[in-house]
Each structure stands twice: as structure tokens, then as C-alpha cells.
Amino acid sequence: EVQLVESGGGLVQPGRSLKLSCVASGFTFSNYGMNWIRQAPGKGLEWVAYISSGSSYIYYAETVKGRFTISRDNAKNTLYLQMTSLRSEDTALYYCARLLSAWGQGASVTVSS
């Protein structure tokens, strides 16, 4: 069974940093491109970032470019999202996803003083 389990969310002050992790199981993680998608409270879905299977290709939404960094460790079957200079508008549930086939349960990030 494919599983994606996010962790690392929490309450953080504006301007601070936070790092999310997503541990994958049930499939060969190193064969798949992975994504982070977020959903602000009561709002729709927003694609945040993509990383290819071997980390050669990385893309970001304009809203996070320069502040967020997606990375992966294929030896540990783990996807990461390093978030810096956080803003209140980054408050959301952050999903790790093998986009067209499997999503995690989400990690909640709240940016507030």
C-alpha cells in the first residue's frame, strides 16, 4: 500500500523558518517525481513545488519562489520542504503528493505572532 506521511508542521512566527518532511512507503520512491501542494483554511488547492525523481528538475509556484526549497533523500525515502521567511498567507495544510496517484494526510502550518 502506498503511504505518504507528513510531519514537521506547527505554529511559527512570521519571518521564521520551518521544515516539513514526508516519508514514503509502499512504492519505489526514487522512481517518482514528487510535489508539495497546500490548502489554506476553507480555500482551494495550490500547487507549491515539484522535484523530479533524481532531483534534476525543480519548479516552484511564484508565491514561494526564493523562500521555499524542495528536496529529497532517496536513500531515506523522504521528501522535504524547507520554508523560510514565512508569512501569514503561508498558513495552510501542506500535502505531500505523488500527484496523480497518492496524497498524504497533510501537515498543518500556522504562521502567526
Long-range residue pairs from 30-36, CB within 8 A, at least 24 positions apart, any chain:
30/54, 30/74, 32/98, 33/57, 33/98, 33/99, 34/72, 34/79, 34/96, 34/97, 34/98, 35/96, 35/97, 35/98, 35/99, 36/68, 36/70, 36/79, 36/81, 36/94, 36/95, 36/96, 36/97
Our finding on whether 23 is near other proteins (CB under 8 A) is no
Which of these segments, 12-20, 45-53, 72-80, 81-89, binds other proteins (CB under 8 A)? Answer: 45-53
**Residues 48 to 107: which contact other proteins by CB under 8 A?**
50, 59-62, 95, 99-106
The partner residues of 49 in beta bridges, in order of sequence, read 36, 60
Our finding on whether 1 is near other proteins (CB under 8 A) is no
Our finding on whether 44 is near other proteins (CB under 8 A) is yes
Our CB check for other proteins shows the closer of 25 and 105 to be 105
Q: Closest separation between CB of residue 93 and other proteins, Å? A: 9
Q: Closest separation between CB of residue 71 and other proteins, Å? A: 18
Which chain residues interact with other proteins by CB under 8 A? 37, 44-47, 50, 59-62, 95, 99-106
